[in-house]
Amino acid sequence: MKIKISSILLLLVGLSLQAQEVFISNGAEWKYLDDGSNQGTEWYGTEFNDEHWNSGYAQLGYGDGDEVSTVSYGPNSNNKYPTTYFRKSFHVSDHTPYNLLVLEAIRDDGMVVYLNGTKVWSDNMPATYNYLSHSSGTVADSGEDAWLSYNASNNLVTGNNVIGVEIHQRSASSSDISFDFKLTAYDGVPTEITRGPYLQTGTPNSVILKWRTNIATESSVHYGSSLNALTDTVSENTPTTEHEVLISGLDPNTKYFYEISNSDGVYLAGDSEMYIKTSPEVGTKKFVRAWILGDAGTGNQNQLNVRNRYYNYVESTPNATNQTDMMLFLGDNAYNSGTDSEYQTAMFNVYSDMLKKSVSWSTLGNHDGYSATSSTQSGPYYDIFSLPKYGEAGGIPSGTEAYYSFDYANIHFIVLESYTLHNSTTQMDWCRSDIQATSQDWIVAIFHHPPYTKGSHNSDTENQLRKMRENFLPILESNGVDLILSGHSHSYERSYFINGHYGTSYSFSPLTHTVGSNGHLSGKEDSTDGAYTKANTDTKGAVYITTGSAGKISGGVLNHKAMYASLNQLGSCVLELDNDAGTGQNLTVKFLRDNGSITDHFTINKSDITASTDESYSSDSEYVKIYPNPTEKVLNIKLRKTDEFKSATIFNTTGELVKKVTGQKIDLSELATGMYFIEIKTNKHSYFKTFLLE
């Protein structure tokens, strides 16, 4: 094994930086108040008298059976106290040597931590709260015993210090609370990655790399096409713990290895399993594999089993071994409330090996939405994912990360927000514009709430599911969608090859609503039924998949009449696109169980695909230019000689079409100043650029 000298030096430096002192250890004795009273703000100060409070050793709480000290929830088990208070005093002989405090806690459900009268940490709590407030979400399963960590600046004082913690229940009838705590002071610590790295918004020429560190530091990425020659560097000099770096100017369909450093040196050395594989040129006809994960975020053994079976599959398949071009998360990625700590447990701790080398895309689920807001694009979900709202990965700019599109090879992906925007006319208008603008051979739509399901949810009666069917399916189907992926129901359900069904399950008719001579059959290419077939010019015919069992199964009647297969089984889906023996392609989806078996699969064959196989281009700048940029009144388009100009379409930052032209010299005099996006169509490709009108 080859180890870089810089990594060895950093390791030696890290070993020399010892913790100065553990001031509070796990299992310590705490004062606590469990009478449901309003303690205001004085209780967490250093001068507060807590002699009348009870005392007990951690873990403190009730309801789990693993508590060392049991606290009270009050006289009514259906109306438990929202808040329980904890205090601990400790002595510091000299606070000046310390530069960093590491706080660690077990908390169930919400928590606020104060040090010497100042709030230093809050987790799973609303923005404003009081003693009657409940937490933002429920902590369950592995999250109940998970140690969370937070780095704080040195707010210690010489002499007496006080940690105050308030634990909040999720609801009046919640079954349990838990609390334990550690505090360690350091004079300095080596930089360590605590989340990631992981890849976002991949394009043929760029990718976003994100990671989190234990202390604020600069962001530097060294990369190159050879692990032994990471000669290119991109850096951000502003210290941060939440790192996000755009790596651009890359060649399409090319593997780049990378490592991460700061001014002290490399703290995450590159290896053969840490790389970026850029997307192929848009329109390229090639093999593609996507791993599809619905409702995965339980953080338990079920999720690990499903993950392990996919890892075994992709490592052993003879076709494109070890190739995973993307991860598609269908929502409910972290139970129960999509908090940052739940994402750490259920996403980053589980999928770290794949996230560092395959771009992940996601749609918002209802559990993610409990702690995130689409209207403001805020909350842990929107902090974690960096999604292409400006059309930078293909498609029409949406102006929001709540819904967006992207291209990969000759597939166009449309990602919708079904949790709060199922009635949004703005999202509908964008969806229509986006799907009508694409010239890709395949169209895949993704949203959380399935239009057809009889699993743990019912698409006949539940509003979000019904509205997605009524509002969005006519737009998608009339413009040629081929595959629709959803989660929400904790089962696997797969439709026939259908079109035009927007009513209840009971109104579905195989004679009326299936497409082609075998649309009412299995679609299995390796059986007498044969693959579903669709000419490249056809709009009718799509398969709907509800796959929400990557973390748990919840049963249901599983008898929707539009479904060919309905299974109460744990598993994930694998999408594989490959060329057929002629001029077409086969899009195959497999349901891969947690035991490694494939219990359902189907294929859609599309004929007469004429997608480009030219992957020789190295960057947009080599074959399309817009100038001057910034511009004032006129914008010019210059193409390479082998491209023939067809049209150009200009959009504002909200995705609204503002101008369409058929010439390469564009008059902008009627447009307001600001940032715009332009899609340039040629006989070979669609190119996307941004420009500033001054």
441-461 pLDDT, tens digit per residue, is 999 999 999 999 999 999 999
The SS3 call for residue 147 is coil
Q: What is the pLDDT of residue 610?
A: 67
Tell which wins on pLDDT, 137 or 238: 238
Q: Hey, what domains does the chain have and what are their CATH numbers? A: 5-13+194-277 (2.60.40.10), 20-186 (2.60.120.260), 288-607 (3.60.21.10), 623-693 (2.60.40.3080)
Q: Look at residue 314 and tell me whether its pLDDT is greater than 90.
A: yes
Task: State both tokens at 561.
Answer: 């009449």
The confidence score (pLDDT) of residue 632 equals 83
Q: Which of 400, 475, 443 is nearest to 655 (CA)?
A: 400
Alpha helices per DSSP H over 75-161: none
More confident of the two residues 63 and 5? 63
Here the tokens at position 83 are 């808040």
Q: In terms of Cα–Cα distance, which of 602, 596, 554, 538 is closest to 572?
A: 596
The average pLDDT across 115-122 equals 96
Q: Quick one: pLDDT at residue 142?
A: 74
The pLDDT, as a whole number, for residue 675 is 81
pTM: 0.75
Q: 19 falls in which pLDDT band (50, 70, 90)? A: low
pLDDT at 526 (0 to 100): 95
Strand ranges (E), 37-141: 54-57, 60-62, 69-70, 83-92, 100-108, 110-115, 118-123
Phi and psi (nearest 5°) for 199? Answer: -105, 140
Q: Tell me how far CA of residue 629 lies from CA of 126, 128, 634, in angstroms.
A: 44, 45, 10
Q: pLDDT at position 565, please?
A: 98
- Using the Cα atoms of residue 333, residue 339, residue 345 and residue 351 in order, give the sign of their dihedral: positive
CB 545 within 8 A of CB 440: no
Instruction: Measure the CA–CA gap between 612 and 684, rounded to whole angstroms.
Output: 7
Q: In 3-state terms, what secondary structure has residue 428?
A: helix
pLDDT of residue 641: 67
pLDDT over threshold 50, residue 161? yes
Q: Where are the beta strands (DSSP E) in 135-270?
A: 148-152, 159-168, 177-186, 193-200, 207-224, 232-247, 255-262, 265-268
Tens-place pLDDT, residues 335-364: 999 999 999 999 999 999 999 999 999 999
* Tokens, residue 663: 């010439």
Which two structure tokens, joined as six digits, stand for 632?
């004032």
